[in-house]
Copies of this chain bind each other. A is one copy, B any other.
Amino acid sequence: MKYGILKISLIFFFVACQPELVNLDKAKKAVAEYYDYGTYEKDCKKLIDEAVEFIETIDPYDSNAVVFDIDETALDNYRYIKSIGFGYILDEWNKWVNRAEAPPNKEVKRFYDYLRSKKIRIIFLSGRHEETYQATVKNLRSAGYTEYDTLIIRNDNELNVSASEFKSRIRKELAEKGYRIIANIGDQKSDFEGGYSGYVIKLPNYLYQVD
């Protein structure tokens, strides 16, 4: 009897629950609700609160640094992505990036302000391409990220390297230069793979996945 119920429940699970194949408009609606109704911000706030608690326990060294990813971390492209029906066209994305109009993620900005008040060094590390460097500097500034040690994005030789390989190599180089990476904040698993990440702050991202 008990196995009967278990079996029925499992069948129910596998039949009713097909998280893989859903109508994209339905998936988009659920994602829009997550972002529009405050759940995203609430989830970010919780992660930042925990990160601040952790940073409070860290010994203050002048070489202490936190690595920030940019898109869907320091900057928030949600409104733009929603405006194009949650699609992706590379040329259009580059146009958007070059407009340098993305607002900050408020919770990430709060974390940045906190770190600056603690004199902790800030490093921006992004898979964005070389030709968007000036637009990225401009957008970080307009979003309030005015003080940082360095901004590193991919040069044209590195476009075939995965985000994960690129970022872990750079973090290793930063560590070798003497930076003490105490935390790393991003929205993709690939932001953290390969070590030298310190305390990991993985923000939610239901919009896209980067390998």
Contact = CB atoms under 8 A, between A and B. Distances in A.
A16 B31 CA distance: 17
Contacts of A85: 86-89
A80 to B, nearest CB: 11
A176 B13 CA distance: 47
Contact of A84 (B2, B9, B30, B88): B88
A208 B1 contact: no
A206 B17 contact: no
Interface stretch (A21-29, A119-127, A156-164, A191-199): A21-29
Contacts of A87: 84-89
A30 B20 contact: yes
A12 B203 CA distance: 24
A209 B26 contact: yes
B84 A24 contact: no
B206 A21 contact: yes
A contacts with B: majority SS: loop
Contacts of A205: 23
A5 B5 CA distance: 8
Contacts of A28: 24
A111 B26 CA distance: 29
Interface in A13-46: 13, 16-28, 30-31, 34
Contacts of A58: none
A24 B89 contact: no
A52 interface: no
Nearest to A34: B21
A151 interface: no
Contact of A206 (B23, B34, B89): B23
Given A1-B2, A85-B87, A89-B84, A208 B17 contact: no
Contact of A23 (B12, B13, B209): B209
Contacts of A13: 9, 12-13, 16-17
A97 B85 CA distance: 17
A97 to B, nearest CB: 15
